[in-house]
Chain A
Amino acid sequence: MRYIVKQNRAEMKEEAKNGAKQKVAKQKGGKKLMRGNTVVGEAAVQAGCTCYFGYPITPQNQLPEYMSRRLAEVKDGIFIQSESEVSAINMVLGASVAGARVMTSSSSPGISLKQEGISFLCGDELPAVIVNMVRGGPGLGNISPAQSDYFQSTRGGGHGDYRVVVLAPASCQELADLTMEAFDIADYYRNPVLILADGMLGQMMEPVTFDNYKSRKLPKKDYTITGAKGRPSRIVRSLILNTKEMEEHNWKLIRKYQMITKREIKCEEFMMEDAKLVVVAYGTAARIAKGGVKRARNEGLKVGLIRPITLWPYPSEVIKKWAKTVPLFFVFEMSAGQMVEDVELSLNGASEVYFYGRPGGVVPTPVELSRIISRQYLQKGL
Chain B
Amino acid sequence: MKGKIVIDTEACKGCLFCIEACPRDMIEKSDKLNLKGYYPARVVDSGENRCTGCALCAVACPEAAIEVYREAKQS
Q: Are A and B close enough to touch in the complex, i.e. CB under 8 Å?
A: no
Binding site for A on B (CB under 8 A): none
Binding site for B on A (CB under 8 A): none
